[in-house]
Amino acid sequence: MNIFNKNEIKYKLLTKEELLINLDRLSRFKLPEYSYNRVFSSIIFKSLITPNFSKKDIEDLDVSYISQIVKEIWNNSVKKHFGELKDNNIALKAHQLTIFHTFKDIDIKTKKLINTDLYFSQILENINYNTAPQNLKYLIKINSELKNKENININDLKELRNKFSLGFPVEKLLIAEGITEEILLPVFADKLGNNFNKKGIYIVGAGGKSKSPSLYLEIKNKLNIPIVLLFDLDAKEICNILEDILQKKDKYILIEKGEFEDILSINLIKRTLNNEYEPATPLSVEDLKIHEKMCENIEEFYRTRHLGEYKKSKVAKLLSENIKYPTDISEDIKEILSKII
């Protein structure tokens, strides 16, 4: 067993940037076994001078020893850059509460790392809220809105999420096949009065129908929250297999009319592409009905007008910025969102 003695260790302080990066990594929607082991190991490997440990050595260290070293390095770095802690560090308490609300069956080692008393508040006070990622916006708001509360519960955090559209604590995970769904579904939902961030719906694009089941299998037993999987029609066989392994709280949704792009409003696609690529030959509704798959029609538009490669992420972003009318959200999209929400 490793015995911690702060007089026997030498280390480099973390920079402001390193503190911010590590806080961001700890608070993302990731399995805590991954994020905490990654961050704590990285801090020891990069900052600890004496004793000197290899990455393999760090894996074998006693968890209490790891926790104490990281606490020493982290908190003294915070003091150096931002001064002594002046409040009750409510952001750390809320962060810990959020993790244990969202994830289950966390191993003993990771629980000890999560419970390490790290200073969060001073760092959060020095982050620009407007440019911060969603996970840090959540902690910043907690730090400012709840700093005078000694005790908080999960309902306090949910109320704050609903009030400021913070996204955390997460209540439901939506796994979609690709980037188009990841970009557009939250925008469509918001237009219909069902803001994903207010409701705590976290969406992730798996990168293809074959990757969605793997992701589901990896995390399904680690979450306290329900999981929804959204598939294109060509994943019907995968869905049949999934039925045997889905947990009761989870479900899948199959797009019966093909791919996600196939159920988007034709008028929205036409108007968006014509606005973006004027004065190219205008796209007509008929142009978007040549092929059965909408993606093939869009690809042909790009090819025949010599506009370069059709990039789904770019087009999805353009579509999201051009949603103006009720008819821009198809009935199929509305039905899918109702099943998700």
Q: What are the tokens at 245? A: 């392994």
Residues 6+ apart with CB under 8 A from 142: 90, 91, 94, 157, 160
Q: Do 33 and 120 have their domain in common?
A: yes
Residue 280 has pLDDT above 90, yes or no: no
Residue with tokens 């036409």: 270
Specify the pLDDT at position 276: 95
Residue 125 has pLDDT above 80, yes or no: yes
Residue 62 placed within a domain: yes
Question: Which of the pair, 240 or 21, is modelled with greater confidence?
Answer: 21
How high is the mean pLDDT of the chain? 94
Residue 133 has pLDDT above 80, yes or no: yes
Q: Do 125 and 17 have their domain in common?
A: yes
CA distance 281 to 301: 9
Question: Which of the pair, 88 or 28, is modelled with greater confidence?
Answer: 28
Specify the pLDDT at position 7: 74
CA distance 273 to 277: 6
Tens of pLDDT, residue by residue over 171-205, are 999 999 999 999 999 999 999 999 999 999 999 99
Specify the pLDDT at position 210: 84
Determine which of 148-152, 226-230, 253-257 has the lowest per-residue pLDDT on average.
148-152
Please report, for residues 35, 175, 198, 204, the alpha-carbon distance to residue 24 in angstroms, rounded to integers and kept in the order given. 10, 22, 21, 18
49-58, 77-86, 134-143, 241-250 — which one is most confidently predicted on average? Answer: 134-143
CA distance 276 to 296: 19
Q: Do 179 and 42 have their domain in common?
A: no
Residue 270 placed within a domain: yes
Residue 234 placed within a domain: yes
Specify the pLDDT at position 296: 97
Q: Do 84 and 136 have their domain in common?
A: yes
Q: Do 190 and 139 have their domain in common?
A: no
Residue 339 placed within a domain: no
Domain termination site, one of 115, 137, 164 = 164
Residue 1 placed within a domain: no
SS3 letters across 230-273? EECHHHHHHHHHHCCCCCCCCEEEECCCCCHHHHCCHHHHHHHH
Residue 246 placed within a domain: yes
Residue 291 has pLDDT above 90, yes or no: yes
Specify the pLDDT at position 1: 62
Q: Do 62 and 11 have their domain in common?
A: yes
Q: Do 64 and 97 have their domain in common?
A: yes
Q: What is the mean pLDDT of residues 212-220?
A: 91
Domain termination site, one of 224, 258, 292 = 258
**Beta carbons of 119 and 164 less than 8 angstroms apart:** no
Specify the pLDDT at position 139: 97
Q: Do 188 and 319 have their domain in common?
A: no
**Beta carbons of 39 and 14 less than 8 angstroms apart:** no
Q: Do 188 and 240 have their domain in common?
A: yes
Q: Do 81 and 204 have their domain in common?
A: no
SS3 letters across 65-90? HHHHHHHHHHHHHHHHHHCCCCCCCH
Q: Do 90 and 184 have their domain in common?
A: no
Residue 339 has pLDDT above 90, yes or no: yes
* pLDDT range class, residue 85, cuts 50, 70, 90: confident
Domain count, the chain: 3
Domain termination site, one of 235, 258, 281 = 258
Please report, for residues 2, 189, 269, the alpha-carbon distance to residue 294 in angstroms, rounded to integers and kept in the order given. 61, 22, 10
Domain that holds residue 18: 6-164
Residue 135 has pLDDT above 90, yes or no: yes
Question: Which of the pair, 235 or 134, is modelled with greater confidence?
Answer: 134
Tens of pLDDT, residue by residue over 160-174, are 999 999 999 999 999
Q: Do 22 and 85 have their domain in common?
A: yes
Q: What is the mean pLDDT of residues 304-313?
A: 94
Specify the pLDDT at position 114: 98
Residue 16 placed within a domain: yes
Tens of pLDDT, residue by residue over 21-44, are 999 999 999 999 999 999 999 999
Residue 340 placed within a domain: no
* pLDDT range class, residue 323, cuts 50, 70, 90: very high
